Amino acid sequence: MIHGISEILPDQLSRRQDILLSIRKVFEASHFQAITTPTFEPIEALSKGWDQFLKTSSIQFISDEGTHMVLRPEMTSSIARLISSRKEQLKLPLQLYYMENVFRRKHQLRKQELFQIGCEVIGKDDLDIDIAILQLLVQVLHAVGVHDFKIELGHVEHIQQLSPADQEALRQGMIVNVSVIPPIGDASILPKGSYLARLATQWDQRFPHYKGLLQYNLGKVESIDYYTGIMFDVLIEGVGAVVGRGGRYNDLLSAYGWNEPAVGFAIEFDQLALFLEKENT
Amino acid sequence: MSRILTIGLSKGYLMKEALHYFETVGIIAEPYNDRQLILWDTTHQVRFLILRPTDVPVYVQQGIVDLGVTGLDMIREEEPDVCVLRDLKFGACRLSVCGDVNRPLSELTHGVRVATKFTNCTQKYFESLGIKVDIIKLYGSVELAAITGLSDFVVDLVATGKTLEENGLKEQITLFDSTAHLVANPVFYSLHFEQIKRFIAK
C-alpha cells in the first residue's frame, strides 16, 4: 500500500464532480479561463521562483534522458513558468483557474497527492483586485455550501516589522519562543493607515452582508514564502487543517522572466470534500 | 461560549502534573479512575481525552482535540503542524546518545548501529555531524539493544540516568532537553485566539 494517495470510487467521484462543477460555474461567471500545466517538467526551469520549502517537499526524479525532473508541488509556480515562456501570445490582465493534482514528498500525515482548485489574476496590483479575489473565494465557498468559515488575513508589511527570530518562531509554530505574540482579531487590531486597514474599510462598505467574515492576524506567516502583500487562509470550525490559502506574489513571475504582479488562491479540495461529506451525513 | 474545549493528555505520570497545570488556569477535573478514557471538568465545559503520549500530536494536528500536552521530544520527533504555546516545565528529561560504559565515544563514527525510538531526531543529529550511521527502529526497552549487541549505541530519553547506570550504560551526548509543552491545533489557535490567550500569558 502506498501512503498518502487517494482512491475514489464512482459514487464518491460523482459527488465530487458535482462540487467541481459548481465551482467551475463561479470561476466562469467571473470571466476566469481554465489552464493546465505539465504534471512534471525539468526542475531547472520550474524551480526558479521556489523557496526552500518547495525544493525540499517536491518529488524529484531523473528522466530516461538523464534530466533532473520534478512533479509539480503546486500550481502557481507551474503556471508562472508556463505563461512567462509564452508571454508574447497572452494579453493582460490574465484571469486563470485550475483544478489539478499536485505532488508532495511524504511527510508524516500529509498526503503525497493533493487535488487543488485555484485561480490567479496576473497583471493587476491594487486594492480592488485583492478585494475581488477575496470576494471570489467567498463565492466559491458559498457555492459549495460552506457558510460557517472565516478568512484570516495577514500582510507581509506586519511580518517584516518583527525580529528575524520571531518570524522564524512563528513560521515553525513555536509561539512559546515569540517575544511579543502578534494579535488576531477583527479590524480594530489593524494599525491605522495600513494596507489591511484600508482593505477592511472597503470590504465592510461594499459587503455589509459579509460582516465578520474576515479576521486579521498581524503575525500571519505562510510555509511558502513568495508572498509580497496580503496572505490569507480559509478556516472552518472543526476542520483541523487550513482548507484554502492564497495571497499576492508580485515577484514570482519575474523569476520566470515576466515582470508582472499576481494574486490568487488555492483550495485544498481533499479537505473541502471531506468536510462536505461529513456535513451531509 | 458554549463550545466545549477538548484537551488531549498523555496517559501516565505526566497526567497528574498536566491536570495540576490546568487547575492553575481554572480548569478543575472531576474525580476519575485509572480506566477512564474521557474526563470532564467540574463545569462540563472542558473534556480531557486520555491518550498514548505518542498519539497526542496526531490528535492535535487533525483537530480532534483543540489543545494537547506533549513532550518537546515528541514535537521534535513527529514535527506535527501544531502551535506550541507554552513550556509547562514538568516531566524534564533529555534525549541522549548512550553506550556501554567501557565504550569510548571515539567509536561513534561512520557505520555504527544506533537503536532508538526517535529515528527522525537521531537521523537529523547524525546528519548534522556528517556521520553516516545505521538506525534501528525499536519500540521499547531501547537500553537492551546496546547491552545485547543489537546496536553499538542507543539514542533514548534519560530522566535520572538510573536505568542506564543499572544496566552498565553511560550517557554520552545530549541532543536536547525536553519538558512537557502545551500545544494547540493551528486552526483552533486562529479561530479562538481570545480563548487561547489565557494559556500563553507569561
At the fourth CATH level, which superfamily is domain B5-91+179-200?
Periplasmic binding protein-like II (3.40.190.10)
Q: How confident is the model over A135-181, as pLDDT tens digits?
A: 999 999 999 999 999 999 999 999 999 999 999 999 999 999 999 99
Q: What is the pLDDT of residue B11?
A: 87
In this structure, the number of other CB atoms found within 10 A of the CB of residue A198 comes to 14
Q: What is the pLDDT of residue A106?
A: 81
pLDDT over threshold 60, residue B1: no
Grouping H, G, I as helix, E, B as strand and the rest as coil, residue A58 is: coil
User: Mean pLDDT lowest for which of A76-90, A221-235, B66-80?
Assistant: A221-235
Per DSSP, chain A holds a count of helices (H) and strands (E) of 9, 12
Which positions in chain B touch A236 (Cβ < 8 Å)?
187
For B114-127, give the secondary structure using H, E and C: EEECCHHHHHHHHH
The torsion angles phi and psi of B159, rounded to 5 degrees, stand at -105, -65
- Which among A108, A217, A240 has the least Cβ separation from residue B185? A240
Q: What is the pLDDT of residue B2?
A: 60
Q: How confident is the model over B96-122, as pLDDT tens digits?
A: 999 999 888 888 889 999 999 999 999
**Alpha helix ranges (H) inside A58-126:** 76-85
**B171 and B143 in contact (C-beta within 8 Å)?**
no
**All domains of chain A in start order, with CATH:** 10-279 (3.30.930.10)
Q: What is the pLDDT of residue A1?
A: 59
**What is the location of CATH 3.40.190.10 in chain B?**
5-91+179-200, 93-177
Q: How confident is the model over A192-207, as pLDDT tens digits?
A: 999 999 999 999 999 9
Buried b (16+ CB within 10 A) or exposed e, A214-247: bbbbbbbbbebbbbbbbbbbbbbeebbbbbbbbb
B88 touches A: beta carbon within 8 Å: no
Instruction: Answer yes or no: do A235 and B190 touch at CB < 8 A.
Output: yes
Burial of residue B91 (CB within 10 Å: 0-12, 13-18, 19+) is buried
In this structure, is the dihedral angle defined by the CA atoms of residues B72, A238, A53 and A60, taken in order, positive or negative?
A: positive
Q: How confident is the model over A47-73, as pLDDT tens digits?
A: 999 988 899 999 999 999 999 999 999
Q: How confident is the model at residue B202 (pLDDT cuts 50, 70, 90)?
A: low
**Mutate: best of B187, B193, B197, partner A, most A CBs <10 A:** B187
* Residue B4 CA, distance from chain mean position: 25
> How far A187 CA sits from the closest chain B CA (Å)?
15
Instruction: Answer yes or no: do A241 and B87 touch at CB < 8 A.
Output: no
Strands B5-10 and B67-71: parallel
ipTM: 0.91
Strands (E), chain A: 33-34, 40-42, 60-62, 68-71, 94-103, 113-122, 149-155, 184-185, 214-217, 230-236, 244-248, 262-268
Instruction: Answer yes or no: do A175 and B85 touch at CB < 8 A.
Output: yes
Q: What is the pLDDT of residue A267?
A: 97
Grouping H, G, I as helix, E, B as strand and the rest as coil, residue A85 is: helix
- Which among B84, B189, B193 has the least Cβ separation from residue A174? B84
Q: How confident is the model over B152-181, as pLDDT tens digits?
A: 999 999 999 998 999 899 999 999 999 999
Residues 61-80 of B with CB under 8 A from A: 61-64, 78-80
- Which among B63, B82, B194 has the least Cβ separation from residue A239? B63
Instruction: Answer yes or no: do B83 and A185 touch at CB < 8 A.
Output: no
> How far B73 CA sits from the closest chain A CA (Å)?
14
Give the three cell numbers for residue A65: 534522458
The torsion angles phi and psi of A23, rounded to 5 degrees, stand at -70, -45
The torsion angles phi and psi of B47, rounded to 5 degrees, stand at -120, 130
Name residue A56's amino acid: T
- Which among B63, B78, B194 has the least Cβ separation from residue A240? B63
Range A270-280 average pLDDT? 88
Which positions in chain A touch B83 (Cβ < 8 Å)?
173, 175
Grouping H, G, I as helix, E, B as strand and the rest as coil, residue B56 is: helix
**A264 and A119 in contact (C-beta within 8 Å)?**
yes
Find the helix or strand (DSSP H, E) in which B53 lies.
Answer: none
CATH no. of B93-177: 3.40.190.10
Instruction: Answer yes or no: do A176 and B62 touch at CB < 8 A.
Output: no
> How far B104 CA sits from the closest chain A CA (Å)?
35
In this structure, the number of other CB atoms found within 10 A of the CB of residue A138 comes to 20
